[in-house]
């Protein structure tokens, strides 16, 4: 197989080493100095050049580039974070593409850290395997992370293969028995897998299409790898939910695209792929799951979704004008609340150090004077600092010691799970809020 197989070092060590030596520092600096190099000038779904800027979050550090204590005095690379709309097909994508080697080779997000997400992906894999994979068949997952999804079908009579460029998480997957190629998915890799392992009855890609710049290459790879009668199942956060619920903090350099269904159909049709079914789930603030097969056009059910998108103007500038206003008022309200808390002598800590937390804190200008500490259960993030705003990340057990008056749940998509887990803190009088200031 081409590409790198799993590195034997323990995953936490790999991540720590990466943070310490500031992986590819020169490339990061070069990209930060000249962002025009990384500007994407055409739509990644239809290649039209009719792109207009609809939202700007200024320049931001990469959301998962957590900072080691001894690097705090050094300036962090920052990259533009602007959202562009394709006026031809309705695709929404970032204006700049930060090199994927910088974002994904060492990754601090682990799917298994949420019990709810583990259950969600296990159910997806089990149902999809039942529908598409015959005994002995092959399931390939693109962006397989720590192997959470594939490990749930391992005991069935199927073969599984993970692909993920992050070396540290691939090690974790391998350690739970999920064979994983630590590489970016590509057409040549798809050819090689087909040659060595045969074609795949099921290809799964959850929260990964948004991370990939060249979606034509992905589609060609899927066409190459997919067995006759097989399916590609993907999940992506849905643009409609981002707009409805002002989820602007889910816009970060890793998320190159914010998908609606219309541009996805445009993309797939250019590669003889047919979007057959759409399902909607509340996870990650609103996610769509698509089932794609070889063919043309799309099903009536998908067409109905597109009609609804057109009716609500999802591909038009006007919806983003409203979004801009909602973003500003959410930030103003949040800052005012934190300032008022501070002036009345109350302490507020953050809960969760997700990528979206970095965006929220940086865009709203919430530094350690307003929010001194963040807690997170991911041991690889503990001891590091939030990019840009530099809150130290502590284990959640520190909450009872520090006794803040309130907690701002930055990982709001896991609010129910977090509040359930921290029942003792609530009993102790610590109040829990989401960024829209709803109290739980």
Minimum Å gap between C-beta 20 and ligand JHZ is 20
Minimum Å gap between C-beta 254 and ligand JHZ is 5
The CB-nearest residue to ligand JHZ is 354
In terms of CB distance, is 139 or 208 closer to ligand JHZ? 208
In terms of CB distance, is 370 or 384 closer to ligand JHZ? 384
Does position 435 interact with ligand JHZ (CB under 6 A)? The reply is no
Range 302-361, binding ligand JHZ (CB under 6 A): 352-356
Count CB atoms within 10 A of the CB of residue 229.
Answer: 10
Does position 413 interact with ligand JHZ (CB under 6 A)? The reply is yes
State which of residues 95, 162, 237, 315 lies at the interface with ligand JHZ (CB under 6 A): 237
- Segment lying near ligand JHZ (by CB under 6 A), choices 88-96, 146-154, 308-316, 370-378: 370-378
In terms of CB distance, is 169 or 298 closer to ligand JHZ? 169
- Segment lying near ligand JHZ (by CB under 6 A), choices 109-117, 133-141, 184-192, 366-374: 109-117
- Segment lying near ligand JHZ (by CB under 6 A), choices 97-105, 258-266, 413-421, 432-440: 413-421
Does position 414 interact with ligand JHZ (CB under 6 A)? The reply is yes
Tokens linked to 224: 């190459």
State which of residues 151, 246, 291, 377 lies at the interface with ligand JHZ (CB under 6 A): 377
Q: Which residues bind ligand JHZ (CB under 6 A)?
A: 109, 113-114, 207, 237, 254, 284, 352-356, 376-378, 381, 396, 411, 413-414, 417-418, 421
């Amino acid at each position: 197989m081409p590409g790198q197989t799993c590195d034997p070092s323990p995953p936490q060590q790999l991540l720590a080493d990466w943070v310490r030596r500031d992986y590819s520092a020169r490339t990061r600096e070069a990209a930060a100095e000249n962002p025009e190099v990384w500007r994407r000038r055409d739509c990644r779904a239809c290649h039209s050049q009719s792109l207009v800027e609809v939202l700007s979050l200024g320049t931001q550090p990469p959301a998962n580039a957590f900072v080691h204590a001894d690097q705090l005095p050094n300036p962090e690379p920052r990259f533009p974070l602007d959202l562009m709309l394709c006026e031809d097909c309705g695709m929404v994508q970032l204006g700049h593409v930060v090199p994927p080697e910088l974002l994904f080779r060492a990754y601090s997000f682990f799917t298994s850290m949420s019990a709810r997400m583990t259950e969600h992906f296990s159910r997806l894999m089990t149902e999809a395997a039942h529908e598409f994979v015959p005994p002995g068949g092959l399931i390939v997952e693109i962006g397989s992370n720590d192997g959470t999804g594939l490990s749930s079908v391992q005991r069935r009579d199927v073969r599984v293969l993970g692909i993920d460029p992050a070396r540290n998480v691939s090690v974790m997957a391998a350690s739970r028995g999920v064979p994983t190629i630590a590489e970016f998915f590509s057409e040549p890799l798809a050819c090689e897998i087909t040659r060595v392992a045969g074609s795949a009855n099921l290809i799964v890609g959850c929260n990964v299409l948004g991370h990939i710049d060249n979606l034509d290459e992905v589609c060609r790879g899927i066409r190459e790898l997919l067995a006759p009668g097989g399916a590609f199942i993907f999940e992506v956060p849905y643009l409609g939910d981002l707009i409805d619920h002002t989820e602007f903090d889910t816009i970060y350099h890793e998320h190159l695209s914010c998908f609606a269904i219309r541009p996805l159909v445009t993309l797939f049709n250019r590669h003889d792929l047919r979007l057959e079914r759409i399902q909607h789930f509340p996870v990650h603030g609103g996610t769509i799951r698509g089932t794609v097969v070889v063919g043309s056009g799309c099903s009536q059910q998908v067409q109905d979704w597109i009609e609804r998108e057109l009716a609500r103007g999802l591909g038009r500038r006007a919806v983003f004008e409203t979004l801009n206003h909602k973003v500003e008022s959410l930030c103003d309200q949040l800052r005012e609340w934190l300032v008022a808390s501070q002036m009345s002598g109350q302490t507020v800590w953050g809960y969760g150090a997700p990528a979206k937390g970095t965006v929220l804190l940086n865009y709203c200008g919430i530094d350690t004077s307003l929010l001194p500490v963040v807690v997170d259960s991911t041991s690889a993030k503990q001891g590091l600092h939030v990019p840009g705003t530099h809150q130290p990340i502590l284990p959640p057990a520190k909450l009872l010691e520090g006794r803040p008056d309130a907690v701002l749940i930055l990982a709001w998509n896991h609010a129910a799970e977090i509040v359930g887990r921290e029942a003792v803190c609530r009993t102790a009088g610590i109040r829990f809020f989401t960024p829209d200031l709803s109290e739980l």
